[in-house]
Chains A and B, each alone.
Chain A
Amino acid sequence: MAERSDEVKLLGMWASPFSRRIEIALTLKGVPYDFSEQDITNKSPLLLQLNPVHKMIPVLVHNGKPISESLVILEYIDDTWQNNPILPQDPYERAMARFWAKFVDEQICVTAMKVVGKIGEEREAVVEATRDLLMFLEKELVQKDFLGGESFGFVDIVATLVAFWLMRTEEIVGVKVVPVEKFPKIHRWVKNLMEINVIKKCIPPEDEHLSYIRARMEKLKFKAP
């Protein structure tokens, strides 16, 4: 548990999956924190000072020392507060967890983001590419309740991006990227996640989140040629 004297602050943004994963981890560990909502369209001097290299949220500030990049922050949280471990203990299992986390961020997220900006055949191709990647997660979930195995862990926290961002966005974008017929295990896993109190508490409220995404989409469409 956190020391009384610990000062923990999170610079984040309520609708960001990267920021929310830090809230999930801190909540899971029972670490109290101050949340500082950041305007990502007009970056604050504090953010620029604390993350001069990437200038991005989330930034965790622990007793005055800043840490950025969400996967790095999650590992830091797990190294610092050891109750309710997020990563497995076994080195091979840890390596696998890191592998899938990286896969979610560098492959699924990067590919899925392109769906929004494309139309017609190009969109179809990106949707197919995203599905090919998601199929690896679908296979990982065979006979498992969570991506971490029996219990909720690191990869599940990271992959909330799929469960609550990608899968919420698809209704608004108008393409079913993750149809239940193709991905029954991913859909079952989302249901399992919804049973977890920390998740219920830490994901953005659906209505507000959907209106936010809708507004963002409108802006993007407006900008598109």
Chain B
Amino acid sequence: MADEVILLDFWPSMFGMRTRIALEEKNIKFDYREQDLFNKSSILLEMNPVHKKIPVLIHNGKPVCESLIQIEYIDETWPTKNPLLPSDPYQRAQARFWGDFIDKKVYSATRLIWGAKGEEQEEGKKEFIELLKTLESELGDKIYFGGETFGYVDIALIGFYSWFEAYEKLGNFSIEPECPKLSAWAKRCAQRESVAKFLPASDKVTKFVPELRKKIGLE
């Protein structure tokens, strides 16, 4: 029986981008269904009744929620092509640690850059740069976070790259001079087929952010 894979997603979501990229890495075809987050569909509410959030991966009718969990699920379900998590338990733990760090720390800082004003926004920007520097020191001189091969942590972080221009514009700062190695890493990842295919263009995100701010009552 052929696998039926559906992804409930929203194009500017860095979380959704993770799942799109992970599926592409495994060469899995999927039915992409764009969601309106301001008017949630009955399928989204039915498939993710706990959080009511995208992305939701539906594999042969069964939903998996939360993007990092989806990456692990994809890796475990289709293990042969392009393994995403390292096989060594300690390296796996490190990858999970940084994935969790990105979700807990990086996202909330960026949320302040696009979703706040004044002092709060300034705080978010400072925090964001500090966090990127922490990630840059973890990356060091490696090609990817996991070493030689593109994997879990790269996928967890790369979606934010499509928002860099929007953050820079909103916060009036520049990421590249602060984090040259991380910037080089992002450009390297962007060359990769799976990333190039599913990361939206920066200017498209930059145009979308003012709309988003209007919707949440900031502009």
Contacts and interface: CB of A to CB of B under 8 A. Distances in A.
Nearest to A96: B64
Contact of B93 (A53, A73, A92, A94): A73
B92 interface: yes
Contacts of A80: 89
Contacts of B72: 94-95, 98
A79 B92 contact: yes
Contacts of B65: 99
B101 A53 contact: yes
Q: Main SS of the interface on chain A?
A: helix
A72 B97 contact: yes
Contacts of A71: 96, 100
A67 B73 contact: no
B100 A91 contact: no
Contacts of B89: 76, 79-80
Interface string A50-85: 000100000000100101110111011001100000
Interface in A72-126: 72-73, 75-76, 79-80, 91-92, 94-95, 98-99, 102-103, 107
Contacts of B90: 62, 65, 67, 76
B134 interface: yes
A91 B73 contact: yes
A75 B101 contact: no
A136 B90 CA distance: 33
Contacts of B77: 91
Interface residues of A, number: 23
A67 B77 CA distance: 26
A76 B50 contact: no
B176 interface: no
A136 B64 CA distance: 16
B76 A53 contact: no
Contact of B100 (A72, A79, A94, A95): A72
Given A65-B90, A98-B72, A103 B97 contact: no
A99 B64 CA distance: 8
B29 interface: no
B50 A94 contact: no
A75 B69 contact: no
A46 B101 CA distance: 21
B69 A91 contact: no
Contacts of B64: 92, 95, 99
A75 B70 CA distance: 16
Contacts of B76: 91, 94
A9 B35 CA distance: 47
A69 B96 CA distance: 9
A147 to B, nearest CB: 14
Contacts of B69: 95, 98-99, 102
B73 A68 contact: no
B66 interface: yes
Contacts of B96: 69, 71-72, 75
Contacts of A69: 96-97, 100
28 contacts: A67-B90, A69-B97, A69-B100, A71-B100, A72-B96, A72-B100, A73-B93, A75-B96, A76-B92, A79-B89, A79-B93, A91-B76, A91-B77, A92-B62, A92-B64, A92-B73, A94-B72, A94-B73, A95-B64, A95-B73, A98-B66, A98-B72, A99-B64, A99-B65, A99-B66, A99-B69, A102-B69, A107-B50
7 smallest CB-CB distances across A and B, nearest first, come from: A79-B89, A91-B76, A76-B93, A95-B73, A72-B96, A80-B89, A95-B64
